[in-house]
Amino acid sequence: MGFNRSRWVLGLTAVAVLVGSCAKSSPQAESTTTATLGPSATATTPTLSPTPAPTPTKTLSPTPTPSSTPTKHSPTDAERAAFVASFHPAAMHGVDNVAVNADSDSDLEIVFTYVPAGAEDSHVAVADWDGLAYRIVFEGDGGPADRNPRVEVRDIFHNSLPKIALFDFTGAGGASLALFTFRSPTAAGGPAYQPLLASGGCDNANHVYGVTGATLVDVDADGIPEVRATCETPGTPEASYPVDIYKWDGRTLVYIRTEHPAD
């Protein structure tokens, strides 16, 4: 059988065409898929927060013990004696004192009497108890004195308010009476005590009564004493000095009359 070259070439050509056609239509022709990359990501360096400083350990102070509040109380004999010992003004004849209820409360006050160094008149100082300690609440002068006065503290005129009476003496015959009254606890202002001033007579507006004699005497028998006080009269012998009478009117001492030694 003879070889036909033209037919062989034609056959190869047909095969080649067939193979190319199959390659174009097959989805499997691409066996390798190339991945499409996005834009390159920028690497981020993490930002470190600063390390916080360690919190200092709080040192707790011990809970303070509340200080005890002093309790108010009535004065003891020892507290009274201690205050008397601590009170030492310059005095010509020392200092006398008496513990007495001078303001109608439940505690004893201390009434000091003396003649200050270099002075001609007596002096009184009252120490009151405030619930915790004694303190001086009033001071006043009495009459002429060359020795410590005799003192009385009592409700002289029966009006429920104590009075302080200083009986002063000087020389052989000088004698006077200084009077102080406790102010009512409801009275506003002013010291706890005040001079008890005369109204009228030769001792008008003065709390020191008499010059050569002064006494507390119930002259009208009503149960309440009056003040009898000598009145200095120029040109008249001391023995002949008239005597003024002062009566308590519920508020002060009011002059009511004068008596003469010859009467």
pLDDT at 28: 46
Cβ–Cβ under 8 Å, residues 26 and 18 = no
**C-alpha span between 130 and 19 (Å, rounded):** 132
Other CB atoms within 10 Å distance of the CB of residue 163: 20
pLDDT at 65: 63
Q: CA quadruple 240, 257, 166, 141: dihedral positive or negative?
A: negative
pLDDT means per 10 residues, the chain with 263 residues, are 49 47 46 46 56 64 70 95 97 96 88 97 96 95 97 94 95 95 73 92 98 96 97 92 97 96 74
User: What's the burial of 100, exposed, middle or buried (CB within 10 Å: 0-12/13-18/19+)?
Assistant: middle
pLDDT at 200: 98
Please tell me whether the overall predicted TM-score, pTM, comes out greater than 0.75 for this model. no
